[in-house]
Amino acid sequence: MWDVILASLASLAEPTTIAVILIATLYGLFIGSIPGLTVTMAVALFVPFAFFLDPIPAMAAIVTLQAMGIFAGDIPGALIRMPGTPASAAYTDDSYALSQQGQARLVLGVDVVASAVGGLMGAVALIIGASALAEFALTFSSYEFFWLALLGLSSTAFIAVASPSKGLISVVLGLFLATIGIDITLGFQRFTFGNPNLMGGISFIPAMIGLFGFSEVLRTVLRGEMHLAYAKVETGTAFLESIRQVWRYRVNTVRGGIIGLISGILPGAGADIGAWLAYGAAKRFSKEPEKFGKGSMEAIVEAGVANNSDLAAEWIPTLVFGIPGDAFTAVVIGILMLKGMRPGPAILHDYTNVLIAIYVTFIIANLLMVPFGFLAVRASSYLLRVPRNILMPAILMMCVVGAYAINNDLFDVGLMLILGLLGFVLEANGFPVAPIVLGLVLGPLLEQSFMISLIKSEGNLALFFSRPVSAVLGVTTCIVWLSPLLPKLRRLMAARAVSSKTDD
């Protein structure tokens, strides 16, 4: 075991890997600090470059990119009231309000320290939790994997989006896209319409680039958001004061870290859900709830820790079960499979060196976040000055090159453009894109597990609940499906109670 650990550390210490980590650091900080350019889009554009890297440098770059990008999303939220990533949206009003009071330097300094602390908490949880869950997951049968995949999709549709009905439609659309190609059970062609390019199914990477990259270009250009007004950050450093603020709210720090870990482990939740849950908890237990939304440092600390501890926790279901925690880890699964590594319980035994490298990189990335984060804070005004009329054409070029580079096929470029247009139209009408991605990723696993289970049970659906774990997962999934009805039931019961009192 020690030989594997030393070999993993040696791979991370190679000049090429160090250079890749530094480039990913700068790339993540840049993308995260530009409003609208999400971290998921950043990793989708990075995929063609990961194709030419060895597994360890590729995974190290992705981990670093994720950590830096989520933190950098706090910068535009504090300076121009536009969160760079959805994970920063929960406390944008508080950050901006304090910045307007002349505390932008302190706010962003607290963001750096809270993000690093949360990321390190998540890294520890990943190291401990992944190994323990992997041993447990080795006992899973097709029944458990079916319910787990369905639970992930259900959580995305009914919990992680504002409109459950629109979330469900997006999930179904993603599942439909996953069925295109050859039927995995009978070998028939499905929805190919005689086009041989579709026999292999929808290529995952061009789909990701289109849904998150090209759609963002369309959205930005059509909105005319080519220039942004920004506020300057005061000169000087706030390192020691930022640490004092995080220590002052140490209870919030611990609670936010725990909330982030829980939301990260739940498939489909994601860092933005974790941040909102932590924000709500902070307000619920705060002695000064009236400050929330008007400039609460307490809210910034707790939600900032939560959305970063969530990141590493999302990798636990991704690596152990092959169930992505959010759209970002869905892309990670695609990259792992591109490298010949299928996520699942056996990954801890078959690719131990890569897994150890991921663990160590999470720690390195969050330690690097402190110096690079403060540098990004000092340069934040310059980052926001980048004109969109230069940035958008560059992103469009990367989208086209990235889609083509995977298979050297112009058909993938056309596929990327079509799905990008589809993603733009859907989001313009309030339909989330992330459930489409998860449906596309989990569709094959869901179908395969269902068909195997159906064959084994000879059509007896009761056997889907025959094992203890599958029964728990099945009941949990049913509860998630019924969750949108609970508010209506409560309103109905309240109305009946009022009616009965009136009659009396």
Reported as a single tens digit per residue, the pLDDT across 400-453 is 876 776 677 788 888 888 988 998 898 888 887 777 877 887 788 788 888 888
Question: Other C-beta atoms within 10 Å of 486: how many?
Answer: 10
Question: Other C-beta atoms within 10 Å of 231: how many?
Answer: 16
Separation of alpha carbons 307 and 87, rounded Å: 6
Q: Which amino acid is at 400?
A: V
The three-class DSSP label of residue 233 is: coil
Give 457's pLDDT tier (boundaries 50, 70, 90). Answer: confident
Query: Does residue 161 have a pLDDT over 60?
Result: no
In 3D, which of 327, 304, 110 has the Cα closest to residue 215? Answer: 327
Residue 498: the pLDDT is 66
The structural domains of the chain, with segments of one domain joined by +, span: 2-494
In 3D, which of 317, 366, 359, 339 has the Cα closest to residue 64? Answer: 366
Reported as a single tens digit per residue, the pLDDT across 271-292 is 766 777 787 788 878 888 778 7
Q: Within 13 Å and on the Cβ side, how many CA atoms surround 161? A: 27
Give CA angle at 482 (480, 483), nearest 5°.
65
**Cβ-based neighbours of 122, under 8 Å, separated by 6 or more:** 257, 260, 261, 264, 308, 309, 310, 311, 312, 313, 362
Query: Does residue 11 have a pLDDT over 80?
Result: no
Query: Does residue 226 have a pLDDT over 60?
Result: no
Separation of alpha carbons 299 and 235, rounded Å: 24
Q: Which amino acid is at 317?
A: P
Residue 499: the pLDDT is 67
Handedness of CA 239, 245, 248, 251 (dihedral sign): negative
Q: Are 343 and 318 in contact (CB under 8 A)?
A: yes
Q: Are 178 and 440 in contact (CB under 8 A)?
A: yes
Separation of alpha carbons 349 and 352, rounded Å: 6
Separation of alpha carbons 16 and 19, rounded Å: 5
Reported as a single tens digit per residue, the pLDDT across 473-492 is 888 888 878 777 766 777 77
Q: Are 301 and 245 in contact (CB under 8 A)?
A: yes
Q: Which amino acid is at 95?
A: S
- 231-235, 462-466, 488-492: range with lowest mean pLDDT: 231-235
Separation of alpha carbons 147 and 145, rounded Å: 6
Query: Does residue 34 have a pLDDT over 80?
Result: no
Of the chain, the end-to-end C-alpha distance in Å amounts to 74
Token pair, residue 167, equals 């979330």
